[in-house]
Amino acid sequence: MISGPPIRAFGLQAVALGLFVCIVSGCNDSSRTASARLRREVFDLQQEVARLELRESEQRIQFEQATTDRSDLDHEVLASTPMVTGIGMSTWSGSRGVRTDGRTTVEIFVSAVDGRNRPLQMVGTVTARALLIPVEGSPIELGAATLTPSQLRDAWRNVLGTPSYVVQLPIDQPLPEGTESIHVRVYHDDARTGRRFETSGDVRTVDGEAAVE
């Protein structure tokens, strides 16, 4: 059985409490130094918790695979096989363009990581949806695009050293004047595990192209 290390976040509470006491009681030079050290320790602990959560997620996926159709694999091979544990959108997303058919598109760059927070190739489908969320009223769907497994493989790009997949997301509705960003939701159906991953966020749209290879 594959099991992950327990995630212990109680250290964060203790460090945060010490930082709070320092701030309330007033800080001289030595206490300010201690405060800076505590803030750094809080950050390091947060990073460690995030790393362990990714590792635990990957090991859970590996265990599910080991107890189903991949139980014949050697334990070490299975434990060393990277699995997608999350996806995200690159900050390079948002470049506007015009296709040959005249439709406006927005480039969305999507990437995946494994349990060690390392870039990982995706196998399966990716669907992206663009929404306009007004201050009042219901969200307006602007457009959607889906990449098949073969299209997804061909969509691989290297964005300034960061492996990503580019989705040309068509915008079928005119944007109100002054609109600077749209809301984008991306779904990845992993063909290897059957799991669905999702990410979303506001994307600022700009004219031009991102530097890709």
pLDDT tens track for 14-49: 555 555 555 555 556 777 777 777 877 887 788 888
103 and 45, same domain (yes or no) = no
CA–CA separation, 134 and 140 (whole Å): 8
CATH number of the domain enclosing 178: 2.60.40.1930
116 and 73, same domain (yes or no) = no
Number of domains in the chain: 2
| pLDDT for position 16 | 55
pLDDT (tens, 9 = 90+) of the chain, 213 residues, equals 344 444 444 455 555 555 555 555 555 677 777 777 787 788 778 888 887 888 788 788 777 766 666 556 677 877 788 899 999 998 889 888 887 777 889 999 999 999 999 999 999 999 999 998 887 888 889 999 999 999 999 999 987 777 899 999 999 888 777 788 899 999 999 998 999 999 999 998 876 554 443
148 and 195, same domain (yes or no) = yes
Decide if 2 is inside a domain: no
Query: Is residue 64 a contact partner of residue 58, using CB atoms and an 8 Å limit?
Result: no
64 and 97, same domain (yes or no) = no
33 and 113, same domain (yes or no) = no
> And the tokens for 13?
């509470």
Residue that is last in its domain, among 51, 79, 107:
79
| pLDDT for position 18 | 57
Decide if 4 is inside a domain: no
- pTM, full prediction: 0.64
Residue that is last in its domain, among 32, 56, 79:
79
Residue that is last in its domain, among 25, 60, 79:
79
| pLDDT for position 154 | 95
User: Containing domain of residue 25, as a range?
Assistant: 10-79
Query: Is residue 77 a contact partner of residue 180, using CB atoms and an 8 Å limit?
Result: no
| pLDDT for position 185 | 95
Name, in order, each residue with C-beta under 8 angstroms of 27's C-beta and a sequence gap of 6 or more: 35
133 and 192, same domain (yes or no) = yes
Helix (H) or strand (E) holding 104: strand 104-113
Decide if 1 is inside a domain: no
Helix (H) or strand (E) holding 187: strand 181-190
